[in-house]
Protein backbone atom coordinates (compact mmCIF):
# COMPACT_ATOMS: atom_id res chain seq x y z
CA UNK A 1 0.00 0.00 0.00
CA UNK A 2 1.41 3.38 -1.04
CA UNK A 3 1.62 5.99 1.73
CA UNK A 4 1.94 9.65 0.80
CA UNK A 5 4.59 11.08 3.17
CA UNK A 6 3.37 14.62 2.57
CA UNK A 7 -0.03 13.51 3.87
CA UNK A 8 1.54 12.08 7.04
CA UNK A 9 3.52 15.24 7.62
CA UNK A 10 0.39 17.35 7.27
CA UNK A 11 -1.53 15.03 9.60
CA UNK A 12 1.24 15.27 12.21
CA UNK A 13 1.17 19.07 12.10
CA UNK A 14 -2.62 19.07 12.52
CA UNK A 15 -2.39 16.73 15.51
CA UNK A 16 0.22 18.94 17.17
CA UNK A 17 -1.97 21.98 16.61
CA UNK A 18 -4.95 20.24 18.16
CA UNK A 19 -3.00 19.17 21.26
CA UNK A 20 -1.48 22.63 21.55
CA UNK A 21 -4.94 24.21 21.42
CA UNK A 22 -6.25 21.72 23.98
CA UNK A 23 -3.37 22.48 26.34
CA UNK A 24 -4.00 26.21 26.08
CA UNK A 25 -7.69 25.62 26.77
CA UNK A 26 -6.99 23.45 29.81
CA UNK A 27 -4.55 26.01 31.22
CA UNK A 28 -7.29 28.65 31.36
CA UNK A 29 -9.43 28.97 34.45
CA UNK A 30 -13.03 28.13 33.54
CA UNK A 31 -15.65 30.84 33.94
CA UNK A 32 -19.07 29.35 34.71
CA UNK A 33 -20.71 32.52 33.40
CA UNK A 34 -19.63 31.54 29.89
CA UNK A 35 -21.54 28.26 29.88
CA UNK A 36 -24.74 28.91 31.86
CA UNK A 37 -27.45 30.67 29.81
CA UNK A 38 -28.98 33.49 31.83
CA UNK A 39 -30.15 36.28 29.53
CA UNK A 40 -32.97 36.86 27.09
CA UNK A 41 -30.41 36.72 24.30
CA UNK A 42 -29.18 33.35 25.59
CA UNK A 43 -32.75 32.04 25.60
CA UNK A 44 -33.32 33.29 22.06
CA UNK A 45 -30.12 31.63 20.87
CA UNK A 46 -31.20 28.31 22.36
CA UNK A 47 -34.38 28.40 20.25
CA UNK A 48 -32.31 29.35 17.19
CA UNK A 49 -30.59 25.95 17.02
CA UNK A 50 -32.31 24.70 13.86
CA UNK A 51 -30.62 21.29 13.95
CA UNK A 52 -32.14 20.65 17.39
CA UNK A 53 -35.45 22.52 17.40
CA UNK A 54 -36.58 21.92 13.80
CA UNK A 55 -35.01 18.57 12.98
CA UNK A 56 -34.95 14.87 13.86
CA UNK A 57 -38.63 14.33 14.62
CA UNK A 58 -39.80 10.67 14.72
CA UNK A 59 -40.43 8.85 11.43
CA UNK A 60 -41.94 5.54 12.59
CA UNK A 61 -45.48 6.75 11.86
CA UNK A 62 -44.68 7.73 8.30
CA UNK A 63 -42.84 4.44 7.80
CA UNK A 64 -46.06 2.60 8.70
CA UNK A 65 -48.30 4.35 6.15
CA UNK A 66 -49.87 3.04 2.96
CA UNK A 67 -48.48 5.69 0.58
CA UNK A 68 -45.57 3.55 -0.60
CA UNK A 69 -44.23 0.01 -0.78
CA UNK A 70 -40.96 -1.88 -0.90
CA UNK A 71 -40.01 -4.96 -2.87
CA UNK A 72 -38.54 -7.80 -0.83
CA UNK A 73 -35.09 -7.00 -2.19
CA UNK A 74 -35.34 -3.34 -1.21
CA UNK A 75 -36.75 -4.17 2.24
CA UNK A 76 -33.99 -6.70 2.96
CA UNK A 77 -31.38 -4.22 1.72
CA UNK A 78 -32.20 -1.66 4.44
CA UNK A 79 -29.62 -1.97 7.21
CA UNK A 80 -31.80 -0.38 9.91
CA UNK A 81 -33.51 -3.45 11.39
CA UNK A 82 -36.01 -1.55 13.52
CA UNK A 83 -37.21 0.54 10.59
CA UNK A 84 -37.71 -2.68 8.63
CA UNK A 85 -39.81 -3.98 11.52
CA UNK A 86 -41.77 -0.71 11.69
CA UNK A 87 -42.59 -1.12 8.00
CA UNK A 88 -44.43 -4.40 8.69
CA UNK A 89 -45.88 -3.19 12.03
CA UNK A 90 -43.98 -5.92 13.91
CA UNK A 91 -45.05 -6.01 17.54
CA UNK A 92 -41.67 -6.80 19.00
CA UNK A 93 -39.02 -5.22 21.20
CA UNK A 94 -37.58 -1.93 19.96
CA UNK A 95 -34.34 -0.43 21.27
CA UNK A 96 -34.05 2.65 19.01
CA UNK A 97 -34.09 5.65 21.36
CA UNK A 98 -33.70 8.31 18.66
CA UNK A 99 -37.41 8.44 17.84
CA UNK A 100 -38.13 9.25 21.49
CA UNK A 101 -35.03 11.12 22.60
CA UNK A 102 -34.83 13.78 19.86
CA UNK A 103 -38.27 15.32 20.46
CA UNK A 104 -37.63 15.31 24.20
CA UNK A 105 -34.40 17.19 23.54
CA UNK A 106 -36.61 19.90 22.00
CA UNK A 107 -38.80 19.77 25.11
CA UNK A 108 -35.76 20.08 27.38
CA UNK A 109 -34.46 23.14 25.52
CA UNK A 110 -37.91 24.74 25.57
CA UNK A 111 -38.15 24.11 29.32
CA UNK A 112 -34.69 25.54 29.84
CA UNK A 113 -35.74 28.69 27.97
CA UNK A 114 -38.89 29.02 30.06
CA UNK A 115 -36.82 28.63 33.21
CA UNK A 116 -34.50 31.46 32.10
CA UNK A 117 -37.45 33.69 31.25
CA UNK A 118 -39.03 33.06 34.63
CA UNK A 119 -35.99 34.61 36.31
CA UNK A 120 -35.90 37.80 34.25
CA UNK A 121 -37.34 41.18 35.27
CA UNK A 122 -39.55 43.54 33.23
CA UNK A 123 -40.96 40.56 31.38
CA UNK A 124 -44.16 42.36 30.39
CA UNK A 125 -42.32 45.26 28.75
CA UNK A 126 -40.30 43.35 26.20
CA UNK A 127 -41.64 42.33 22.80
CA UNK A 128 -38.60 40.12 22.42
CA UNK A 129 -39.46 38.47 25.72
CA UNK A 130 -42.95 37.65 24.45
CA UNK A 131 -41.57 36.31 21.17
CA UNK A 132 -39.16 33.97 22.96
CA UNK A 133 -41.83 32.95 25.47
CA UNK A 134 -44.29 32.12 22.71
CA UNK A 135 -41.60 30.28 20.77
CA UNK A 136 -40.66 28.05 23.69
CA UNK A 137 -44.28 27.05 24.26
CA UNK A 138 -44.75 26.42 20.53
CA UNK A 139 -41.72 24.14 20.26
CA UNK A 140 -42.72 22.17 23.34
CA UNK A 141 -46.25 21.69 22.03
CA UNK A 142 -45.01 20.68 18.59
CA UNK A 143 -42.65 18.07 20.04
CA UNK A 144 -45.34 16.70 22.37
CA UNK A 145 -47.77 16.41 19.45
CA UNK A 146 -45.23 14.58 17.30
CA UNK A 147 -44.62 12.09 20.12
CA UNK A 148 -48.33 11.57 20.75
CA UNK A 149 -48.85 10.90 17.05
CA UNK A 150 -46.41 7.98 17.17
CA UNK A 151 -46.76 6.50 20.64
CA UNK A 152 -50.43 7.08 21.49
CA UNK A 153 -53.67 5.76 20.07
CA UNK A 154 -56.29 7.84 18.32
CA UNK A 155 -58.00 10.49 20.42
CA UNK A 156 -61.47 9.28 21.37
CA UNK A 157 -63.19 11.59 23.89
CA UNK A 158 -65.02 8.62 25.37
CA UNK A 159 -61.72 6.96 26.36
CA UNK A 160 -59.08 9.68 26.34
CA UNK A 161 -58.96 10.12 30.12
CA UNK A 162 -58.09 6.43 30.50
CA UNK A 163 -55.75 6.01 27.54
CA UNK A 164 -52.00 6.39 27.93
CA UNK A 165 -50.48 9.65 26.78
CA UNK A 166 -46.84 10.69 27.02
CA UNK A 167 -44.67 12.01 29.87
CA UNK A 168 -45.29 15.76 30.10
CA UNK A 169 -41.95 17.11 31.20
CA UNK A 170 -42.50 20.78 32.04
CA UNK A 171 -39.23 21.68 33.78
CA UNK A 172 -35.55 21.31 32.80
CA UNK A 173 -34.91 19.13 35.88
CA UNK A 174 -33.32 16.03 34.38
CA UNK A 175 -33.73 14.16 37.67
CA UNK A 176 -37.52 14.55 37.75
CA UNK A 177 -39.32 11.22 37.48
CA UNK A 178 -41.10 10.56 34.19
CA UNK A 179 -44.72 9.47 34.40
CA UNK A 180 -47.05 8.96 31.47
CA UNK A 181 -50.01 11.35 31.54
CA UNK A 182 -53.39 10.35 30.13
CA UNK A 183 -54.12 11.09 26.50
CA UNK A 184 -56.61 13.74 27.63
CA UNK A 185 -53.97 15.44 29.77
CA UNK A 186 -51.50 15.22 26.90
CA UNK A 187 -53.77 17.05 24.46
CA UNK A 188 -54.76 19.58 27.11
CA UNK A 189 -51.10 20.45 27.65
CA UNK A 190 -50.40 20.72 23.91
CA UNK A 191 -53.35 23.06 23.46
CA UNK A 192 -52.45 25.12 26.53
CA UNK A 193 -48.91 25.60 25.21
CA UNK A 194 -50.14 26.62 21.77
CA UNK A 195 -52.62 29.11 23.20
CA UNK A 196 -49.77 30.76 25.11
CA UNK A 197 -47.86 30.81 21.82
CA UNK A 198 -50.84 32.53 20.13
CA UNK A 199 -50.94 35.16 22.85
CA UNK A 200 -47.25 36.02 22.51
CA UNK A 201 -45.89 35.30 19.03
CA UNK A 202 -45.66 38.11 16.45
CA UNK A 203 -47.53 38.01 13.13
CA UNK A 204 -44.21 37.90 11.30
CA UNK A 205 -40.85 36.35 12.15
CA UNK A 206 -37.74 37.50 10.31
CA UNK A 207 -35.68 34.44 11.24
CA UNK A 208 -36.55 31.55 8.93
CA UNK A 209 -37.43 28.45 10.87
CA UNK A 210 -38.83 30.13 13.96
CA UNK A 211 -42.57 30.09 14.70
CA UNK A 212 -44.94 33.05 14.44
CA UNK A 213 -48.64 33.68 15.08
CA UNK A 214 -49.96 32.07 11.86
CA UNK A 215 -47.89 28.96 12.63
CA UNK A 216 -49.43 28.75 16.10
CA UNK A 217 -52.93 29.09 14.66
CA UNK A 218 -52.10 26.35 12.13
CA UNK A 219 -50.69 24.05 14.83
CA UNK A 220 -53.88 24.45 16.86
CA UNK A 221 -55.95 23.64 13.77
CA UNK A 222 -53.86 20.48 13.28
CA UNK A 223 -54.26 19.40 16.92
CA UNK A 224 -58.00 20.07 17.06
CA UNK A 225 -58.44 18.10 13.83
CA UNK A 226 -56.72 15.12 15.46
CA UNK A 227 -59.09 15.52 18.41
CA UNK A 228 -62.15 15.59 16.16
CA UNK A 229 -63.10 19.08 17.38
CA UNK A 230 -64.01 20.36 13.93
CA UNK A 231 -65.44 23.70 15.00
CA UNK A 232 -62.22 24.74 16.74
CA UNK A 233 -60.06 23.32 13.94
CA UNK A 234 -62.02 25.35 11.39
CA UNK A 235 -61.75 28.55 13.44
CA UNK A 236 -57.98 28.31 13.87
CA UNK A 237 -57.42 27.32 10.23
CA UNK A 238 -59.44 30.33 9.15
CA UNK A 239 -57.51 32.61 11.51
CA UNK A 240 -54.22 31.37 10.06
CA UNK A 241 -55.27 31.90 6.45
CA UNK A 242 -56.51 35.41 7.16
CA UNK A 243 -52.88 36.31 7.92
CA UNK A 244 -51.03 33.92 5.61
CA UNK A 245 -53.16 32.86 2.59
CA UNK A 246 -50.21 32.35 0.20
CA UNK A 247 -49.98 29.25 -1.97
CA UNK A 248 -47.31 28.21 -4.44
CA UNK A 249 -48.30 28.30 -8.10
CA UNK A 250 -46.94 24.96 -9.30
CA UNK A 251 -46.77 26.38 -12.82
CA UNK A 252 -43.75 28.38 -11.64
CA UNK A 253 -41.82 25.36 -10.36
CA UNK A 254 -38.99 23.67 -12.23
CA UNK A 255 -40.89 20.41 -12.40
CA UNK A 256 -38.02 18.45 -13.97
CA UNK A 257 -35.62 19.35 -11.14
CA UNK A 258 -34.56 16.72 -8.63
CA UNK A 259 -36.27 18.73 -5.88
CA UNK A 260 -38.70 21.25 -7.42
CA UNK A 261 -40.10 22.70 -4.18
CA UNK A 262 -37.87 25.39 -2.69
CA UNK A 263 -36.97 25.33 1.01
CA UNK A 264 -38.61 28.07 3.12
CA UNK A 265 -41.04 28.86 0.29
CA UNK A 266 -44.07 31.13 1.00
CA UNK A 267 -46.30 28.18 1.93
CA UNK A 268 -44.06 27.09 4.80
CA UNK A 269 -45.41 28.29 8.14
CA UNK A 270 -43.08 26.21 10.28
CA UNK A 271 -40.37 23.86 8.96
CA UNK A 272 -39.71 20.57 10.74
CA UNK A 273 -37.74 17.60 9.48
CA UNK A 274 -37.77 13.91 10.29
CA UNK A 275 -34.89 11.73 11.47
CA UNK A 276 -32.97 9.68 8.95
CA UNK A 277 -35.25 7.16 7.27
CA UNK A 278 -33.17 5.01 4.88
CA UNK A 279 -36.20 2.82 4.29
CA UNK A 280 -37.99 5.84 2.76
CA UNK A 281 -34.98 7.23 0.89
CA UNK A 282 -35.53 8.87 -2.48
CA UNK A 283 -34.25 5.83 -4.37
CA UNK A 284 -35.69 3.15 -2.06
CA UNK A 285 -39.39 3.75 -1.38
CA UNK A 286 -41.75 3.11 -4.31
CA UNK A 287 -44.97 5.08 -4.44
CA UNK A 288 -48.29 3.27 -4.11
CA UNK A 289 -49.51 2.76 -7.67
CA UNK A 290 -53.17 3.53 -6.93
CA UNK A 291 -52.18 6.73 -5.19
CA UNK A 292 -50.01 7.81 -8.11
CA UNK A 293 -52.73 7.01 -10.65
CA UNK A 294 -55.24 9.12 -8.71
CA UNK A 295 -53.55 12.37 -9.82
CA UNK A 296 -55.22 13.79 -12.93
CA UNK A 297 -53.11 14.60 -16.00
CA UNK A 298 -53.52 18.34 -15.42
CA UNK A 299 -52.44 18.03 -11.79
CA UNK A 300 -48.86 19.32 -11.63
CA UNK A 301 -48.26 17.53 -8.34
CA UNK A 302 -47.81 14.40 -10.42
CA UNK A 303 -44.60 15.89 -11.81
CA UNK A 304 -43.58 17.94 -8.77
CA UNK A 305 -43.87 15.09 -6.28
CA UNK A 306 -42.71 12.06 -8.26
CA UNK A 307 -40.02 10.90 -10.66
CA UNK A 308 -40.21 7.76 -12.83
CA UNK A 309 -38.23 4.64 -12.08
CA UNK A 310 -37.67 1.56 -14.24
CA UNK A 311 -36.88 -0.98 -11.54
CA UNK A 312 -39.54 -2.25 -11.26
CA UNK A 313 -41.04 -0.96 -14.48
CA UNK A 314 -43.47 1.97 -14.30
CA UNK A 315 -42.76 2.65 -10.64
CA UNK A 316 -42.26 6.07 -9.07
CA UNK A 317 -39.95 7.64 -6.52
CA UNK A 318 -40.83 10.62 -4.32
CA UNK A 319 -39.06 13.96 -4.85
CA UNK A 320 -41.54 16.47 -3.41
CA UNK A 321 -40.02 17.30 -0.04
CA UNK A 322 -40.68 20.89 1.08
CA UNK A 323 -37.10 20.87 2.38
CA UNK A 324 -35.74 20.65 -1.19
CA UNK A 325 -33.80 17.55 -0.17
CA UNK A 326 -34.12 13.83 0.55
CA UNK A 327 -35.17 14.66 4.12
CA UNK A 328 -38.79 14.08 5.09
CA UNK A 329 -40.63 17.35 5.80
CA UNK A 330 -43.04 17.22 8.76
CA UNK A 331 -43.61 20.95 9.13
CA UNK A 332 -46.78 22.98 8.67
CA UNK A 333 -47.74 24.72 5.44
CA UNK A 334 -50.64 26.83 4.23
CA UNK A 335 -51.61 24.02 1.84
CA UNK A 336 -52.24 21.77 4.85
CA UNK A 337 -54.24 24.53 6.52
CA UNK A 338 -56.47 24.91 3.43
CA UNK A 339 -57.15 21.18 3.67
CA UNK A 340 -58.00 21.44 7.37
CA UNK A 341 -60.36 24.30 6.61
CA UNK A 342 -61.98 22.42 3.73
CA UNK A 343 -62.51 19.20 5.71
CA UNK A 344 -63.78 20.86 8.87
CA UNK A 345 -66.02 23.29 6.96
CA UNK A 346 -67.60 20.30 5.27
CA UNK A 347 -68.06 18.46 8.57
CA UNK A 348 -69.77 21.43 10.26
CA UNK A 349 -72.08 22.17 7.34
CA UNK A 350 -70.21 25.08 5.71
CA UNK A 351 -70.16 23.56 2.23
CA UNK A 352 -69.52 26.82 0.30
CA UNK A 353 -66.48 27.52 2.49
CA UNK A 354 -65.29 23.95 2.01
CA UNK A 355 -65.55 24.26 -1.78
CA UNK A 356 -63.80 27.63 -1.77
CA UNK A 357 -60.87 26.27 0.26
CA UNK A 358 -60.36 23.11 -1.79
CA UNK A 359 -60.73 24.95 -5.09
CA UNK A 360 -58.17 27.57 -4.15
CA UNK A 361 -55.66 24.85 -3.28
CA UNK A 362 -56.28 22.67 -6.33
CA UNK A 363 -56.22 25.56 -8.78
CA UNK A 364 -52.72 26.48 -7.56
CA UNK A 365 -51.61 22.94 -8.46
CA UNK A 366 -53.27 22.84 -11.91
CA UNK A 367 -51.58 23.19 -15.29
CA UNK A 368 -52.49 26.68 -16.57
CA UNK A 369 -52.58 25.32 -20.12
CA UNK A 370 -55.44 23.00 -19.25
CA UNK A 371 -58.93 23.98 -18.16
CA UNK A 372 -59.48 23.76 -14.42
CA UNK A 373 -62.98 22.56 -13.62
CA UNK A 374 -63.91 23.79 -10.13
CA UNK A 375 -65.35 21.47 -7.49
CA UNK A 376 -69.09 22.17 -7.27
CA UNK A 377 -70.23 19.10 -5.31
CA UNK A 378 -73.28 19.91 -3.16
CA UNK A 379 -73.58 16.51 -1.46
CA UNK A 380 -71.77 16.82 1.88
CA UNK A 381 -70.74 13.17 2.10
CA UNK A 382 -69.31 13.08 -1.42
CA UNK A 383 -67.53 16.39 -0.92
CA UNK A 384 -65.96 15.17 2.32
CA UNK A 385 -64.67 12.00 0.68
CA UNK A 386 -63.24 14.06 -2.17
CA UNK A 387 -61.46 16.42 0.26
CA UNK A 388 -60.01 13.51 2.23
CA UNK A 389 -58.66 12.00 -0.99
CA UNK A 390 -57.08 15.34 -1.88
CA UNK A 391 -55.62 15.62 1.60
CA UNK A 392 -53.80 12.33 1.13
CA UNK A 393 -52.54 13.40 -2.33
CA UNK A 394 -51.31 16.79 -1.14
CA UNK A 395 -49.70 15.68 2.11
CA UNK A 396 -47.89 12.60 0.84
CA UNK A 397 -44.71 11.94 2.86
CA UNK A 398 -45.46 14.96 5.06
CA UNK A 399 -45.89 13.19 8.40
CA UNK A 400 -49.70 13.40 8.58
CA UNK A 401 -50.92 10.16 7.04
CA UNK A 402 -50.39 7.99 10.16
CA UNK A 403 -52.43 10.35 12.34
CA UNK A 404 -55.07 10.63 9.63
CA UNK A 405 -55.42 6.85 9.41
CA UNK A 406 -55.84 6.65 13.19
CA UNK A 407 -58.48 9.35 13.49
CA UNK A 408 -60.42 8.23 10.40
CA UNK A 409 -60.47 4.63 11.62
CA UNK A 410 -62.73 5.83 14.45
CA UNK A 411 -65.41 6.37 11.80
CA UNK A 412 -66.61 3.04 10.32
CA UNK A 413 -67.26 4.65 6.92
CA UNK A 414 -63.58 5.58 6.56
CA UNK A 415 -61.93 2.53 8.11
CA UNK A 416 -59.08 0.97 6.18
CA UNK A 417 -57.03 -2.19 6.64
CA UNK A 418 -53.39 -1.83 5.62
CA UNK A 419 -51.52 -4.61 3.86
CA UNK A 420 -47.84 -5.27 3.23
CA UNK A 421 -46.43 -8.05 1.06
CA UNK A 422 -42.73 -8.83 1.49
CA UNK A 423 -41.67 -11.87 -0.48
CA UNK A 424 -44.00 -14.71 0.44
CA UNK A 425 -45.20 -13.06 3.66
CA UNK A 426 -48.29 -10.89 4.04
CA UNK A 427 -48.78 -8.48 6.93
CA UNK A 428 -52.11 -6.86 7.89
CA UNK A 429 -52.84 -3.87 10.12
CA UNK A 430 -56.59 -3.76 10.86
CA UNK A 431 -58.42 -0.53 11.80
CA UNK A 432 -57.94 0.58 15.43
CA UNK A 433 -55.24 -2.03 16.03
CA UNK A 434 -53.18 -1.37 19.19
CA UNK A 435 -50.08 -1.28 16.98
CA UNK A 436 -51.12 2.17 15.78
CA UNK A 437 -49.39 3.22 19.01
CA UNK A 438 -45.83 2.05 18.47
CA UNK A 439 -44.05 0.25 21.28
CA UNK A 440 -41.70 2.41 23.33
CA UNK A 441 -38.02 1.62 23.19
CA UNK A 442 -37.02 -0.93 25.82
CA UNK A 443 -34.01 1.25 26.55
CA UNK A 444 -36.34 4.12 27.46
CA UNK A 445 -38.40 1.84 29.70
CA UNK A 446 -35.32 0.56 31.54
CA UNK A 447 -33.97 4.05 32.15
CA UNK A 448 -37.24 5.74 33.10
CA UNK A 449 -39.50 3.01 34.47
CA UNK A 450 -42.50 4.32 32.53
CA UNK A 451 -45.28 2.06 31.30
CA UNK A 452 -45.17 0.29 27.93
CA UNK A 453 -48.07 0.63 25.49
CA UNK A 454 -50.76 -1.96 26.05
CA UNK A 455 -51.24 -4.89 23.72
Query: What is the secondary structure of 244-276 as a DSSP string?
Result: ------GGGS-TTSSS-SPTT-TTEEE--BBPP
The pLDDT, as a whole number, for residue 342 is: 99
Average pLDDT score over residue span 151-170: 98
- Using a pLDDT cut of 70, give the percent of the chain over it: 91
Structural domains in the chain plus CATH codes:
37-211+419-454 (1.25.40.390), 229-248+289-314+334-416 (1.25.40.900)
CB distance 45 to 262 below 8 Å = no
Mean pLDDT score, 308-318: 95
3-state secondary structure of 281: coil
Sign of the alpha-carbon torsion through 181, 186, 190, 193? negative
Please give the pLDDT value at position 36.
Answer: 81
In the predicted model, is pLDDT for residue 5 greater than 50? no
Q: Which one is predicted more confidently, 31 or 267?
A: 267
Average pLDDT, the chain: 92
pLDDT (mean) for 212-220:
99
Query: Residues 6 or more apart from 268 whose CB is under 8 A from it?
Result: 322, 331, 332, 333
Residue 30 has pLDDT above 80, yes or no: no
pLDDT at 387: 98
If we measure between CA atoms, which residue out of 173, 195, 170 comes closest to residue 181?
170
- Percent of the chain topping pLDDT 90: 89
Residue 2 pLDDT > 90, yes or no? no
* Predicted pLDDT of residue 19: 34
Check whether 433 has a pLDDT greater than 50: yes
Per-residue pLDDT, 4 = 40
Q: Is the pLDDT of residue 29 over 80?
A: no
Give, for 391, the enclosing helix (H) or strand (E). helix 380-394
The pTM score is 0.91
Strand, helix or coil at 438?
coil
- For range 361-376, the mean pLDDT: 98
Task: Report the pLDDT value the prediction gives residue 426, as an integer from 0 to 100.
Answer: 98
Pairing of strands 164-167, 68-69: unpaired
Q: Residue 368's pLDDT is what?
A: 97
Contact call for residues 417 and 436 (beta carbons, < 8 A): no
3-state secondary structure 366-381: ECCCCCCCCCCCCCHH
- pLDDT tens profile 378-409: 999 999 999 999 999 999 999 999 999 999 99
Q: What is the pLDDT of residue 35?
A: 63
pLDDT in tens, 105-144: 999 999 999 999 999 976 666 899 999 999 999 999 999 9
Q: How far apart are CA 141 and CA 193, in angstroms?
A: 6
Residue 115 φ/ψ, nearest 5 degrees: -65, -40
| Of residues 422 and 24, more confidently modeled | 422
pLDDT at 164: 98
Per-residue pLDDT, 408: 98
Q: Note the helical H segments in 152-275.
A: 183-200, 213-227, 230-243
What's the mean pLDDT in 426-442?
Answer: 97
- For residues 276 and 57, is the Cβ–Cβ distance under 8 A? no
Mean pLDDT of 71-94: 95
Amino acid sequence: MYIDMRFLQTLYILIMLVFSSCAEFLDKKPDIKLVVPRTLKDADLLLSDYSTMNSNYPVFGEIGTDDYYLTAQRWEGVSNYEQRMAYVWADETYTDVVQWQRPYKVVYVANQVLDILGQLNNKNLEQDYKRVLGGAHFYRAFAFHQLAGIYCGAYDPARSSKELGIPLRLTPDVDAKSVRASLEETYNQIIADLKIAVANLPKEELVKGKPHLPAAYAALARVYLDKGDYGQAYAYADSCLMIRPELLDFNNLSLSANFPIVRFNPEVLFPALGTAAPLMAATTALMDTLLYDSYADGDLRKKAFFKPNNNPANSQYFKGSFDQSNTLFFGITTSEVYLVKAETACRIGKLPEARDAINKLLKSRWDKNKLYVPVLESDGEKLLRFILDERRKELVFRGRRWSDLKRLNLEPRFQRSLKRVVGDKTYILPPNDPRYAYRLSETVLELSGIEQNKR
